[in-house]
A and B are shown apart, each in its own frame.
Chain A
């Protein structure tokens, strides 16, 4: 036995538990010795023969891992799908919550828009890394924990209930969505018009308009026209389902609504000064916090609406592509017959 063999055996044996080391050591020496002898018989010099035998044996860490049945993957097929589903779910829940929470906190602290964006991006990245790392770590440990005899370990068997819903509902089931959005939009428009006579359900505002009456010269008609456009959009959505044109229109409508509304709100032109007085605004320190929360929630809601539209358009497009290729295959089959 030479230094090279000793180094190889040590490299393999040091990674296995103490009580298995002697056995692995002996087995490897037997195997290396026999393989070297065979190479010498085939005509190689002893030193070369040993090198050839060790090279054929391969990475000592892999040999040792095989010896003690240590998995050579971080997460194996038993846990991979569970890990993937859990990770997606956690990211989908944690990241939006973290983003909105941080945005509200920064807005209350009086950060400017750039500062808020910077903080949100930094927190979303670090939260994402944390969620991914700790989830993966738990599953990597599970992968290396032997299950009790006769059990499969922690396991989430797949059931029929886990089948996802079909991505694009048929036109009939889009009707419910259509009716909901039209009813909501009409109610919204009616409230916009009627608020000039006061809000009867708020004690302080029974005869005071909530929104500044000056806005009737341009902005309120503009918003009401926009609601009309939203109704047309809902009709288009009902007729054609989501596509990229409608997703684009959704983006335009959201920007056209959110940007002027926020601008008016933040510059103090939106709310009627008389109404503010009647409500005894600002309510101490709460004023700034409420403004910050309103702004963040409005921005997050319209950003989500735009993203949601894009996701639905993407899925619908994919469904159409697979449906047409299915149809293509079926027609091919028919013509072949």
Chain B
């Protein structure tokens, strides 16, 4: 494995959990898969369709998202929404995320001094 591949693998690993958190926060307003993909990538949370769609299904199975089919348009679309459990998890994850950020910040400052 060349250094570039290693970097890519580690970045993916680091981002994996943040995609879950981003979905849970973003889907407090209901949306469908492709729109979510676009908006996350637009915000700079880089995620691949082959990762996102299975992830949505997994979160739904775990009861963190609820879903509903919208058949108003020509193409039926599945709209996902964060459930109360999902919301509670989002709060917990966000708290931990900030704690880790602070901790890493402390670590970096310690390095520089």
List residues of chain A with CB under 8 Å of any chain B CB: 26-27, 29-31, 33-35, 38, 56-58, 66-67
Complex contact B50–A34 (CB within 8 A): no
A35-B49 contact, Cβ under 8 Å, with A30-B78, A67-B57 = yes
Complex contact A26–B34 (CB within 8 A): no
Is B77 positioned at the interface, with any CB of A under 8 Å from its CB? Answer: yes
Which residues of chain B are within 8 angstroms of A27 by Cβ–Cβ distance?
A: 53, 57, 78
Q: What DSSP secondary structure best describes chain A's contact surface?
A: helix
Complex contact A30–B50 (CB within 8 A): no
Complex contact B34–A35 (CB within 8 A): yes
Complex contact A31–B53 (CB within 8 A): yes
Complex contact B50–A58 (CB within 8 A): yes
B residues contacting the other copy or chain, number (CB 8 A)? 13
Complex contact A57–B50 (CB within 8 A): yes
Which residues of chain B are within 8 angstroms of A56 by Cβ–Cβ distance?
A: 49-50
Which residues of chain B are within 8 angstroms of A58 by Cβ–Cβ distance?
A: 50
Complex contact A31–B49 (CB within 8 A): yes
Which residues of chain B are within 8 angstroms of A29 by Cβ–Cβ distance?
A: 75-76
Complex contact B50–A38 (CB within 8 A): no
| CB neighbors of A among B1-57 (8 A) | 32-34, 49-50, 53-54, 57
Complex contact A34–B76 (CB within 8 A): no
Which residues of chain A are within 8 angstroms of B33 by Cβ–Cβ distance?
A: 30-31, 34
Which residues of chain A are within 8 angstroms of B77 by Cβ–Cβ distance?
A: 30
Which residues of chain A are within 8 angstroms of B76 by Cβ–Cβ distance?
A: 26, 29-30
Which residues of chain A are within 8 angstroms of B32 by Cβ–Cβ distance?
A: 30, 34
CA–CA, A66 and B49, complex, Å: 14
A26-B78 contact, Cβ under 8 Å, with A31-B33, A34-B34 = yes
Which residues of chain B are within 8 angstroms of A31 by Cβ–Cβ distance?
A: 33-34, 49, 53
CB distance from B54 to the nearest CB of A (A): 5
Encoded as 1 (CB less than 8 Å from any A CB) or 0, chain B from 49 to 85 comes to 1100110010000000000010000011110000000
Which residues of chain B are within 8 angstroms of A30 by Cβ–Cβ distance?
A: 32-34, 75-78
Which residues of chain A are within 8 angstroms of B49 by Cβ–Cβ distance?
A: 31, 35, 56-57
Q: Which of A33, A57, A66 contacts B75 (CB 8 A)?
A: A33
CA–CA, A67 and B57, complex, Å: 8
Which residues of chain A are within 8 angstroms of B69 by Cβ–Cβ distance?
A: 26
Which residues of chain A are within 8 angstroms of B57 by Cβ–Cβ distance?
A: 27, 67
CB distance from A50 to the nearest CB of B (A): 14
Which residues of chain A are within 8 angstroms of B53 by Cβ–Cβ distance?
A: 27, 31
CB distance from A113 to the nearest CB of B (A): 54
Query: Can you show 6 pairs from A to B with CB atoms below 8 A apart?
Result: A31-B34, A31-B53, A34-B34, A35-B34, A56-B50, A67-B54
CB distance from A33 to the nearest CB of B (A): 5
CB distance from B23 to the nearest CB of A (A): 16
Which residues of chain A are within 8 angstroms of B34 by Cβ–Cβ distance?
A: 30-31, 34-35, 38
CA–CA, A58 and B33, complex, Å: 18
CA–CA, A26 and B75, complex, Å: 9
CB distance from B57 to the nearest CB of A (A): 7
CB distance from B28 to the nearest CB of A (A): 21
Which residues of chain B are within 8 angstroms of A35 by Cβ–Cβ distance?
A: 34, 49
Which residues of chain B are within 8 angstroms of A66 by Cβ–Cβ distance?
A: 54
Which residues of chain B are within 8 angstroms of A67 by Cβ–Cβ distance?
A: 54, 57
CB distance from B77 to the nearest CB of A (A): 5
Closest A residue to B58 using CB positions: A69
CA–CA, A138 and B57, complex, Å: 30
CB distance from A56 to the nearest CB of B (A): 7
CA–CA, A34 and B75, complex, Å: 9
CA–CA, A33 and B49, complex, Å: 13
CA–CA, A30 and B70, complex, Å: 11
Q: Which 9 pairs across A and B sit closest by C-beta, in order of nearness?
A: A34-B34, A33-B75, A66-B54, A30-B77, A26-B76, A31-B53, A27-B78, A31-B33, A30-B78
